[in-house]
Amino acid sequence: MKYNNEIVQKIKENGFGIIRKRQVILSPEEVSEFYKEHYGKPWFPQFVIKMSNKPMLALCISKCNAVDDFKTLIGPPKVSDARKLYPLSLRAIYGLKGDKSTNAIHGSKTLAKAEEELHFFFARMITKPIRAESLNLNFLKEQVNSVILEGLSEVCRIKPEDPVIWFANWLLENNPKKPKMPPEISHCPYTLDELLPN
């Protein structure tokens, strides 16, 4: 936690956005769960002890090609390799000499692993990407454009006094995605004023 602010600043300077951050203290069980792919290795029990019960900062970062770019920014897991091969990497600058557990920073190896790890620290976070622009354009072309074109044609044909209000009402009436309700539910014999108390 000593260099958290500096590390976060360097991450931002390298074009990453910080979406979420959370300070955590993991129990030995949580450390074992997070690093479960290393379970059974001779160094694993000592690693769990070293990583548990101390404050850490979990980050959700964003950028195009975030996983690969972040791996480059942080450098190799072994601090001596980072200092030799990537002297400006975060692990080279902030990691302590020695084994991998003192390399100061963790980064996901793959996009799938990043999604899994985000759910570990930010359980309610939605990690699916926003709909691609081409899908949005297809949706507009297939579902929206024809309705709007028809409505605007009606505006030109009828020439209402207030075309914006008329068009808004026309869209409400002609919405192809409008929920279908039985007539006995959809028709209310009372006005809103009659239903509301004075």
- Write down the catalytic residue from 38, 106, 119, 187: 106
Residue 126 in any domain: the answer is: no
Strands (E), the chain: 17-25, 55-62
- pLDDT, the chain, mean: 84
Contact 4, 57 (CB under 8 A): yes
In a domain, 112, yes or no: yes
Active-site residue flag, 106? yes
Contact 143, 135 (CB under 8 A): no
What tens digit of pLDDT does each residue of 65-77 get?
A: 899 999 999 999 8
* Domain around 171: 133-195
Q: Do you know the residue count of the chain?
A: 198
Among 77, 99, 121, give the residue marking a domain's end: 121
pLDDT in tens, 151-194: 999 999 999 999 999 998 898 888 877 766 666 555 555 555 56
> pLDDT tens across 100-152, in order?
557 889 999 998 899 899 999 988 776 666 555 666 677 778 878 888 999 99
Q: Is the pLDDT of residue 54 over 90?
A: no
Residue 178 lies in a domain: yes
